[in-house]
């Protein structure tokens, strides 16, 4: 997928599942499970053992899944993720070197920020989306709503503490998408290899995001 296609898919689905798991096997299982539930996107964090191998395997064997690299902390890691086949790069903080690397290599980049000043810096640098992290701990949907007033054209992704009860509220507040970790990729479901459990969670989150978007369009 090219950069425009990746960006369009993230906007279309509105959910980025984050796999921060204990093994490569767990991450591969999670990617397949959420994809079967209608979310063909996965963020494989660099904290997963063998994360680069997971990205490479998914890029090779599951081309229908948009695979991203998460918790990318430096340009060298970004370079390795791109070589492994990552479709997008995201981090928990703002590193302008990573943003510049992504721009030069035409790959979607989603830095993590928290403050208005960081949003301005990240957006001026050319980021595709801006991830507000950790969002739930700093005001939740009301914080997204407050940020959208001065930044109406900046595509914000809410991440950190998003769950089934709040996902719709983040979309209604103005987030273009939500990043979801253990509330979607449930650790016990992963441990037990409960494919249908995660599939059902994916359906529920999609239903909430889709419903919220319909409400915003009806306004």
Burial of 139 (0-12, 13-18, 19+ CB in 10 A): middle
pLDDT value, residue 86: 98
CATH classification of the domain holding 34: 3.20.20.70
Q: What's the domain count of the chain?
A: 1
Which positions are annotated as active-site residues? Answer: 43, 131
- Residues 88-126, buried b or exposed e (16+ Cβ, 10 A)? bbbbbebbeebbebbeeeebbbbbbbbeeebbebbbebe
CA dihedral 63, 122, 52, 9 (to 10 degrees): -10
Give the structural domain span for 21: 3-218
Lowest mean pLDDT segment, chosen from 160-164, 172-176, 214-218: 214-218
pLDDT digits (tens, 9 = 90+) for 66-115: 999 999 999 999 999 999 999 999 999 999 999 999 999 999 999 999 99
Confidence of residue 217 (pLDDT cuts 50, 70, 90): confident
* Residue 219 clears pLDDT 80, i.e. is over it: no
């Amino acid at each position: 997928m090219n950069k425009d296609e990746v960006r369009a898919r993230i906007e279309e689905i509105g959910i980025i599942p984050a796999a921060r798991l204990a093994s490569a096997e767990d991450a591969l299982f999670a990617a397949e499970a959420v994809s079967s539930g209608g979310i063909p996107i996965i963020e494989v964090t660099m904290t997963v053992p063998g994360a680069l191998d997971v990205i490479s395997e998914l890029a090779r064997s599951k081309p229908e899944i948009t695979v991203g690299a998460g918790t990318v902390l430096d340009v060298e890691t970004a370079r390795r993720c791109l070589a492994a086949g990552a479709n997008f790069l995201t981090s928990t903080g703002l590193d302008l070197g990573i943003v510049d690397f992504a721009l030069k290599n035409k790959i979607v980049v989603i830095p993590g920020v928290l403050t208005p000043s960081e949003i301005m810096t990240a957006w001026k640098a050319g980021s595709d989306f801006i991830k507000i992290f950790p969002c739930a701990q700093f005001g939740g949907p009301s914080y997204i709503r407050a940020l959208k007033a001065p930044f109406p054209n900046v595509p914000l992704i809410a991440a950190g503490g998003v769950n089934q009860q709040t996902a719709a509220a983040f979309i209604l507040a103005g987030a273009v998408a939500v990043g979801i970790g253990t509330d979607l990729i449930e650790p016990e479901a992963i441990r037990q290899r409960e494919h249908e459990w995660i599939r059902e969670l994916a359906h529920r989150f999609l239903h909430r995001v889709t419903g919220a978007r319909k409400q915003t369009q009806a306004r």
